[in-house]
Structure 1
Amino acid sequence: MKMIQMTAFILATAFVAPVFAQTATPNIDKRQARQQERIAKGISNGELTAKESANLEKREAKIEANKEAAAADGVVTKQERAKLEHQENVASKRIYTKKHNARKVETSQ
């Protein structure tokens, strides 16, 4: 009886583990975290105005929603990953542009 249960468990995990691997997006998750840090630093040192940071945060939220939608069916395809990476590339460029424009928030010293 134990042998049958053990075999069933092994077979179940053999089929379930790849599904989890296909929905995981570790590179995108790490990149989102790094971009959130860049936005936070831009806010704290005055490089980003409130409006700029709100727009950047809104874009990051949209990418997160797209990522969740891609994973909703249990598989994140190569095409979905490529689309998410493209969206992250665009967002990264926008963060850089907004942080390096002439608009600054005056911080009191």
Structure 2
Amino acid sequence: MNKATFSALAVMIAAGLAVTVDAQARERSVNERQSNQRERVVAGARSGALTRPETRQLNREARGIERKEQVFRSDGQFSRGERREVQRDLNRHNRNIHQARTDHDRRDWGHSRGVAQSARGWHGGRDWGHDRGFQRHGARSGNIDRLQQRQQAQIRLGVRNGSLTPPEARRLRGEQREIAALERSYRADGVLTRNERRDLRGELQDANRHIYNQAHDDDRRYVR
């Protein structure tokens, strides 16, 4: 190999590495923004800056963005245009979080009017009664926890037996983290309403279907 050829090859390798590093940086940027936004919603729900309807709406919006990203990545590619569209969605979501947290529609914790009045204003009365029973018995909470544990075990099994490829496992684990973040935001005030339990079960049913479909497709990892 002559000197000119070697120099040209070195330039090509350096350019390829630069592109890879740039793509990885953009990937981290999207993932970090999503993670930061989820934590802001959790913190807002915990502090009372976000009302329960605001929290639900913001969580639905975040899940919509994540599902769009999953569709974009389903072919193994994430183009510059697709990444730009996701970033625009994240910008809009960021503004919505800021507006919801800084408006004057705050949850009344009942410091001055009493907890019962706060509960009626915030939970609508009927759900509050159901949740007190749920807090006492905890059976439904345990059911949600068991579903999450079972799904995480299924993902681990799929990785071990090769029915899940590494990218599939990453996507499924990301979905599990999103559900866990959603649950944390719902439980931030110590109460989980019937509608929120239903919402979580719906998310877990979707996740269960995704795990099954990914484990039974023809995209398998070769295991010796």
What interval of TM-score do these two structures reach, taking the shorter chain for normalisation? 0.7 to 0.9
How is 1:62-81 mapped onto 2 (pairs within 5 angstroms)? 62-81=178-197
Task: Decide which of 153, 158, 176 is 1:60's aligned counterpart.
Answer: 176
Helix, strand or coil for the counterpart of 1:106? coil
Could you list the runs of 5+ residues in structure 1 that have no partner in the other structure? 1-17
SS in 2 for 1:105: coil
- Secondary structure at 2:201's aligned position in 1? helix
Aligned-pair distance for 1:73? 1.0
**Do the aligned residues in 2 keep the contact of 1:19 with 1:74 (CA within 8 Å)?**
no
Q: 1: CA distance between counterparts of 2:150 and 2:157?
A: 11
User: In the alignment, residue 158 of structure 2 is paired with which amino acid?
Assistant: G
Quote how far apart the aligned CAs of 1:26 are. Answer: 1.1
Structure 2 CA distance for aligned equivalents of residues 32 and 51 of structure 1: 20
1:57-91, CA deviations, whole angstroms, 9 ceiling, x for partnerless residues? 00000000011111001110000000000000000
Q: Name the % identity.
A: 33
> How far apart are the structure 2 equivalents of 1:30 and 1:74?
20
Find out whether 1:32 has 2:183 as its counterpart. no
Q: Is the Cα–Cα contact under 8 Å of residues 46 and 106 in structure 1 kept in the other structure?
A: yes
Structure 1 segments (4+ residues) deviating >3 Å: none
The answer (yes or no) to whether the contact 1:56–1:95 under 8 Å persists in 2 is yes
8 Å CA contact 1:42, 1:48 repeated in 2: yes
Q: One-letter code of the match for 1:102?
A: D
Distance 1:78 1:86, change over 3 A: same
Classify the secondary structure of the residue corresponding to 2:220.
Answer: coil
5+ residue gaps, structure 2: 1-131
| CA distance in structure 1 between the aligned counterparts of 2:199 and 2:180, rounded to whole angstroms | 12
Q: Is the 8 A contact 1:46 1:107 kept in 2?
A: yes
Matches within 5 A, 1:6-21: 18=132, 21=135
Which structure has the higher relative contact order (CA within 8 Å, separation 6+)?
Answer: 1
Q: Rg bigger for which structure?
A: 2
Which of 160, 176, 179 is 1:44 aligned to?
160
Q: Distance in 1 between matches of 2:154 and 2:134?
A: 29
Task: State the TM-score, normalizing by the size of structure 2.
Answer: 0.39
- Alpha-carbon separation, structure 1, partners of 2:193 and 2:163: 36
Q: Which amino acid aligns with 2:161?
A: N
Q: How far apart are the structure 2 equivalents of 1:68 and 1:26?
A: 15
